[in-house]
Amino acid sequence: MAQRLITNLATYLQAQGIATGGTDLFIGKMPEVDNCILLDQTGGIEPDTYLPVEKPTIQVTVRNTDYTDGMDKLKTVYDLLHQKKDSLVLESGGVDVMIVSALNEPSHIGEDENSRHLFTCSFIFQLRS
């Protein structure tokens, strides 16, 4: 189930008008595009021993040539995901999201070798099997 989460999340962000897959929204690897979003699975925490619940984590990285635009883009993703409960619509791919929480505030982590700003925020999902 956690494997489908990242593709469902990409579909969800596209449906919200945040970005377009293959143009400025990518999974796993960020190509040489100035302004884009990368979704990357980062493992998660220990699975529940007794309940059928998975707890994967996904890091969202935004790269942008403009500091304000990049932070605003990540803040929009943060607002869409943080503290969302069963109301989050990722079920279309069979992923039942119980709750999503940010693990950190959206943060500027510097610039890349081409002076593009990088921002990141990680989220933990609790998924019902």
The CATH code of the domain that includes 35 is 3.30.2000.10
Taking only the tens place, the pLDDT of each residue in 93-106 is: 666 788 899 999 99
> Helices 2-15 & 67-81, crossing angle to 10 degrees?
120
Q: How far apart are the first and last CA of the chain?
A: 7
> What would the two tokens of residue 65 be?
């040539």
According to the per-residue pLDDT averaged within each range, which of 14-28, 78-92, 95-109 is highest? Answer: 14-28
For residue 22, give its domain range.
2-128
What is the number of structural domains in the chain?
1
Instruction: Indicate whether 89 pLDDT > 60.
Output: no
Confidence of residue 27 (pLDDT cuts 50, 70, 90): very high
Q: Are 103 and 123 in contact (CB under 8 A)?
A: yes
Predicted local confidence at residue 13, as pLDDT: 93
What is the model's pTM?
Answer: 0.91
